[in-house]
Each structure stands twice: as structure tokens, then as C-alpha cells.
Structure 1
């Protein structure tokens, strides 16, 4: 290649994306595509010049779970940075919202475009220059997520981080992050029951996967879980010879803190982050605290930011418009989203009673859209009663928009947001979006058909919102909920010009 820019790196990375069928098989397997998943990752690691033991220098806090793992990772990162301001703290998460480099952060900020390009092509070239493979089935280059994981390892080692918070991509046992021989601490967030029916796996199977990040002589943490899942996590901790197994519950003091991330469900994630941080600091930095919630921890919890999760963003172009962003994509997470949204602190504030509300929604991955929409509407009804609102759940939204995750009206994606996860024929026919619109009409037969929009792009959806703003008088507020997909949220942030406010 004649140039080695960030754009070149993203284009090269996109060439490694798996197609829709492969991704669906990966989701259904819980991350185990084959018995070679970890051996292949170790092979790639060796080909770029590292041993598994080298990864121990990253001083890893390894986090997995069905829901809340990203938020827990963000809380942990924020706590460590406030407690040890002289440290260099690495954070690896997925997916990204707007730019792929968001996945690799140093002290809370994504690495720069130049840094990403540098580390990306160093990994790329090492794989090109060392093609010796132990397993004939191993491709010359790994798929998208594995490659980014290698880039993250290389970047963190090159930058000599003092601590790394490492979020699992899918599952745990066979995830590409699970090649660190001895993390300092491991933690499993909530196991979502709805994943059992959606993915056709038992809770024991899900817990077995997640518990695979537990390691010999390493403390193992989790939160309250359904009995079947908890039993399996205990068994995994014993089997893998963890040094301890502890179930974390929120304390009364923690409940009183106004966390940087909205939503009552975040208290549990914050509690796990506090426990893992305390143990990490004791083991790695010989730092102990008499106070159950030291002031740096409290400050870290208050100042945690994690875009796209129960996030309210005032529109920088329209003072009367507020965007509510939440990447909820399961039954449980949508319930949590509605608890946050339909409350006096959010959509039911006294100064927003004359609001026009819109929903922008999409879902992928074979999930049943009608079930998700039904859960959403039922929870809205519950919340309106809880808060003694006279509003009707059927009329909570004035406009609903079902669009694809395609960024622009031209049918193209922003390069960082390009996806091969949806079959092209399905995308072109707007099959998912039409199914969602049909489900909405079935759930709410009296909802005006003219207020239901099926659109081919995020840009088309944002255009409807801008037209809605023009129709409202100066006193009327516009509230827009975007949910169902983090990829959708990333597209809205990009197209609506919310990056400075949201990220």
C-alpha cells in the first residue's frame, strides 16, 4: 500500500469482516466456533511476536457477562484513573459507536488515528511476514474482532500500560480475549435470562461460557445470578482453581451515589467495579483502603461516562430537541431502558410535558422484533402508572421510525460503521424494518399509519426528525429515543452531528 493512513487501516480491517451467516453461527455458539478458537488466537499472537506470558504484563482486569460488562468496565476504568492519576490505564471494549479506535482507550480517550494506523499495520505486516501456521485450518489473517484484539494487545504493550480493563467480546471461554494466562482479577456481570430463549442455550451453558475467564490463583467475582447460573459459575471457579469466588451486592452507601451512568441497574455494575478495583489495587499496587467507598472511588463512579447507554444528549443544533440513546437489544435491557426513559428524571420531566416524541428503532441478529416492541410498550405502561402519569402508553410516541443501520441515504456506510452482518437482499428489501412496522401496527391498531416510517438509512431517519422540529413551535420540545442497536446509535451520532456532545 502506498499510504498507511487511518482510513487505509479501517478499509483493511473491514476486509476481515465475517458475513451474516458466520456471525449468526458465532452468536448461537456463544463464541465457540470450533475447538481451535483459543489455539488459533495463540497462534496469531505468536506470529506477531508475543507469548501468552507477555500479556500478563498488561495487568488485566477481565470482564464478561451477558449485560452490563461494558458499563462495569467503564466504571472500573474511571475508578482506577481517579485512584491512580499517574498511571496509564488501558481499556478495551466493543463494539464502537462512531470510530473503531474507540475500542482501544488510554486514560479514557480513544487512541489517535495515527496511533491506530501505526499499531494496526505493524500487526498486519507481522502476519504477512510470518505465515508459518501450526493448524492448516487457520486463515492467514484473523477475523475482524480477533484482529482488533491483537492490535489492542500490541498497542497496550507498546505503550506500557500500568493496568488494562479487558472486556470480552462474545462468551468467555473461547473468546479471543481469553488468552491472558494470569489476569489480576476476573468478573462476571449479570447473565441475561432472555438470552436463553433467543440463542437456544440453557443458562448453565451460558454460565459455563462466561465462567471460562476464571483463572487459577486469580480472584473470581460475580453479581447475584439466577440459581442455575450461579451454581455453574461456582463450579467453574472451583474447576479452574480460582483463588476465591465472591458474589457482590450493592451497599447502602453505594445506592446513595449519583452514578455517572443513568439507570437503577447500573448500581449492580458499579458494585462489581468497586470490588474488582479494590482487589486489583491491593494485589497489583499494595494499596488498601479502610473506607468501603474511598473518595477516589466515589469520584470515579460519579464521573464515569459510557456513551450510548441510558444517555441524554441535548441537540447542539436545536435547543428544543433531546436525544435519548440506549443500545438495549434484549428483553431485559429494554426493560431497564424504559425504566430510565419513562421517569420524572428523563422523558417525564415537568418542563417536557408538551413534548413530541419519536422512536428510532432497529434490531439485528435474528431477534424477534415483535417481542422486543411488545416488551417496550408494556414497560412504558407500567412506568406511567408507577409515576402516576395520565399519559397512555399507546400514545407515548407520536412518530416511530424503523430504519436500517446503513449510515447515508446514498446507501453507503461511514467507513468505521461498515457491516457485512446483514444479508444484502434482506437489507435492500427492508425486510426487518417492514416486519417491525407490521408488528407495531398489530400491537397498536389505532396508531396512525402515516406516523410509522420504514426507511433505508439512518440519514433518512434523522431527516424525519429535522422535519418534525420544523413543525413544532418554539416552546414545544422534541424527544427522540434511539434503541435496539448500538450500531444504530453510532449512525445517529454521526449523521445528527452529536459527536461533540455525546462522545
Structure 2
């Protein structure tokens, strides 16, 4: 008999993960399998005791995009919490960094382990008790679908006043897209680099994202590339959105220090302001017509979103500062390097050069050449911009390519377990060796002894601890949110980072 603890809940949840072969099958289907997602999600929702109409009680702000949707969600959540003190705001995002309960937050705080376990097993038991014979719908939902159902159940049980709901992948067929009438919908940036990575045209990606638009509901977006904007407008008309609006620029943003670092966060903040304003106008007596109300300013300044352009001074390792950014596309990695290779971050205002370390991983080593090449090019440009007399090939003193395995003994922290890495890849560190080869080709002069291919995140942290330097050691961790979360866990940074 299960003790029904948080650990038990995580163990049960991990049985719902798709392995690498299953994920390959979905990709090979060209997305056809995704078309069953909405009817299947509605069936699962009914099996746990709800109808889709019940979800309208959550007063949802639904947000998608190929980059920036998580940051936009965090900004929106923070604005609402400061504009509506005393209310209960739910936030659902993915993925998590260290603990799966981070995905479900109330007033900015992840639900407790006890709450997670309680609501988890309520959903689990209802699904088990109400199995319906079906030729297409599996008896149990996959990992993301289950956590989405759990979030809906949690928010309904706790009677939240508003819900900021981040799309997982895409939009049209995403598991979150079963709310019949959200209050407002938003589309963050459509990253050009996703076109080549996903093997889809910009029009196809925009069509997917625009699938969250609903009849009679405002649709708000940012300025998008031409074809993307045209398709979003078409989707807004097709799905009968009440209006289609481009979030206005806000000059005052340049006067405040956003809670999230990086120039690219300005446009995410502008979209969040537009979404929050639309929500408040329809749901409350809010009538502040100033371009940026004080509650909005405070919300933007106090936004926290771990693992995105985040700086952590290590409390235990002398002289070490961690720079954490889960950037995992060419465009987001360029933004990451604009941030890191700037004064008072990765650059020193004095003539002294800090010791810089890159810890990097990505889902496929084949992407390494474009990812690392983009980072290197951005560093070179930043050094010229800031007139730093330093060759770009010497910017990093060490580079570490490690697997996302948490511990040196080959095990994962329960919440960080992943079955998505092919076993052969993991056994031979295929991706990491491909990354090392790409780095060597990119920077032939880089000393081989300072390029490290390691089997776990714990190995990487130990390698950093070996570095002897009289200068500050600045460690950039990028390429994977899973990697960033593992570093936070292994390096003992949770209390400061999360």
C-alpha cells in the first residue's frame, strides 16, 4: 500500500513519461498523433469529474509563443498579484527546474509537497476508477497531460480568482487548449529559428499558435515576422476572436529595472502589460488609464523567473558566481550571450579578466555547430561593442559538455528523471562528444585539456570546484532548462535560485 507521499506521487508520475522511441514516433507522424490530443484531454477531464465549461471558472489568461511565453506568463502573474492584492492567482508553466510542483503555483509560490501529493492522488484515483474502453485513448494520460489535469484540479479546488496558463507545445493541439472561454489570449514571439529546428514553415507555426484564439475573446500579440502576423490575423478571424491587437510599445519600461534580466525581456513585459490590462478591464473595476500604473511597475520589477538570465553568487564556493539561462534555441542563446557578455555580468569593468566557464548541453549534438557558433559570434560582437581588448576565442577558459544526468552514480533526482534520452546516447555520451567536436572546429586554438566531456551534472560541478583562480570564477550554464535545474540541485543553490 502506497504511503502516498510526494515521492510516491513523483514516482507514479514518472511512469507516464514517454521514452525516446515514443517521442520519435510522434515526430515521425508529422504531428498527426497530436490531433487526438483535445478529444482525449476532454475524456480524461470528464473521468476526473469535470466538464470543459467548469474550466471557465478559472478566469484564464492563455499564453503561447515559440520564445518568451514563460517569461510573459511570469510577468503577467506578478502584475496581477500586485494589481489585485488579497486575491488568489494561479500560474501553470513548464518545464520545472528542480521540483515538478514548481509548475503549479499559487500567488507566486509552488504548491507544497503535501498539496501536490493530495491533489495528485485524487486525480490518479479518479482516472483509475473511471477507465473507459477505447480503441484510441490510452487508459492513463502522458506526463504533461496528467500534470495539466492536476493543475486544473488544484486551481478549481483552491478556487483561484485568476489563472495564467502557459501552453506547453504549439497551441491548437496543446493539452491546455480545452478552456472554452478564457478571458484573454496572447501570443509571444514566433522565433525564426524554430522554423528550421521543427522542420515547419513560419505559417504552420503561426497557425498552431493561433489555435488558442477563441470566439468572443480578445487576442493580443507582439509584432511578428510578416508571414506569421498574417496567419495570426487569419486565425483570429477564423476563430472569431473579439479583437486582434498588437501590444503597444511602452516607453516607460526603459525607466524601470525589470525583475528579469536581458533586453529581450522588454517585449515580453509589453505583452504582459497588455494582457493584464485587458483582463483587469473585463474582470474588475480597474480603470487606471495611465500607460504604466504603479501596481504594474511594481509587478514588473518584482517578477522572478528562475533559470532565465539569473545570477546567483555561490554561498559555499568562494569566488564562484553562477549565471543560469535555460536558453535552448539559436535566438535565445544569442539573447543569453548579449546578457552574459556585457559589463557587470560576464565582463569586468576593470582590465582584469575573470575566469569564465561554459557548462552546456542540448538535446542533439547535431545542433551543436549552429548553437555554439551563434554564441561565439555574439561574444565577438559584444567584445567589439564594449571595446574589450580580448580575443573571442579566449573568452571562455573552460568549456564543459555534460549529460543531464543529475548525479555521478548515474541516477537522477526523482523530479528530474527523464526517459527521453536514448540509452545508447547516454552510455557513450554521443551528444556531448559531438558538442566537443563542434567547439574544437569552431575554436581550433582552444586548449583540448580545457574542454571537458562529462557523464553527469555532479561531475561538472566537481570540475568547477577544481578550477584555481585568483580572479572571480563566472560560470555560465545554458542550453537546457533541465541542465540548469540539475546544477541548482547539485550545487545546492535552491534556497537562492527558486
Whether TM-score is above 0.5 comes out as yes
Gaps of 5+ in 2: none
- Residue number in structure 1 paired with 2:185: 186
- Residue number in structure 1 paired with 2:120: 120
Write the distance in 1 (CA, Å) between the matches of 2:29 and 2:218. Answer: 27
- Residue number in structure 1 paired with 2:474: 479
Q: How does 1:291-310 map to 2 (within 5 A)?
A: 291-310=290-309
Q: How does 1:89-100 map to 2 (within 5 A)?
A: 89-100=89-100
- Residue number in structure 1 paired with 2:221: 222
CA distance change for structure 1 residues 367 and 95 in 2, over 3 Å: closer, same or farther?
farther
Q: 2:494 aligns with which of 487, 494, 499?
A: 499
Q: CA deviation at 1:32?
A: 5.6
- Residue number in structure 1 paired with 2:483: 488
- Residue number in structure 1 paired with 2:3: 3
User: Deviations along 1:105-148, whole A, 9 cap, x unmatched?
Assistant: 00000000000000000000000110125x42111100000000
**Matched position secondary structure for 2:35:** coil
Write the distance in 2 (CA, Å) between the matches of 1:218 and 1:367. Answer: 41
- Residue number in structure 2 paired with 1:106: 106
Aligned residues: 498
- Residue number in structure 2 paired with 1:349: 348
Write the distance in 2 (CA, Å) between the matches of 1:28 and 1:275. Answer: 38
**Matched position secondary structure for 1:36:** helix
- Residue number in structure 2 paired with 1:212: 211
Write the distance in 2 (CA, Å) between the matches of 1:405 and 1:352. Answer: 35
User: Deviations along 1:423-478, whole A, 9 cap, x unmatched?
Assistant: 1111110000000001111111110000000000000000001111xx223xx100
User: Deviations along 1:195-248, whole A, 9 cap, x unmatched?
Assistant: 111111000000000000000000000001100000000000000000000011
Gaps of 5+ in 1: none
Q: CA deviation at 1:25?
A: 5.0
Q: CA deviation at 1:249?
A: 3.7
Q: How does 1:24-43 map to 2 (within 5 A)?
A: 24=24, 26=26, 33-43=33-43
**Matched position secondary structure for 1:9:** helix
More divergent stretch after superposition (370-379 vs 284-293): 284-293
User: Deviations along 1:73-107, whole A, 9 cap, x unmatched?
Assistant: 00000000011111100000000000000000000
Superposed CA RMSD in Å reads 1.4
Write the distance in 2 (CA, Å) between the matches of 1:485 and 1:29. Answer: 25
**Matched position secondary structure for 1:121:** helix
**Superposition TM-score, scaled by structure 2 size:** 0.98
**Preserved CA contact (<8 Å) 2:403 2:432:** yes
Write the distance in 2 (CA, Å) between the matches of 1:414 and 1:32. Answer: 33
- Residue number in structure 2 paired with 1:266: 265
Is residue 129 from structure 1 mapped to residue 129 from structure 2 by the alignment? yes
Write the distance in 1 (CA, Å) between the matches of 2:51 and 2:286. Answer: 29
Write the distance in 1 (CA, Å) between the matches of 2:28 and 2:256. Answer: 38
User: Deviations along 1:351-410, whole A, 9 cap, x unmatched?
Assistant: 693311100000005761111001110110001111111111100000000000000000
Q: How does 1:6-85 map to 2 (within 5 A)?
A: 6-24=6-24, 26=26, 33-85=33-85
**Matched position secondary structure for 2:445:** coil
- Residue number in structure 2 paired with 1:388: 387
More divergent stretch after superposition (286-295 vs 480-489): 286-295
User: Deviations along 1:178-208, whole A, 9 cap, x unmatched?
Assistant: 0000000100000011111111100000000
- Residue number in structure 2 paired with 1:437: 436
CA distance change for structure 1 residues 60 and 42 in 2, over 3 Å: closer, same or farther?
same
**Preserved CA contact (<8 Å) 1:31 1:170:** no
CA distance change for structure 1 residues 180 and 287 in 2, over 3 Å: closer, same or farther?
same
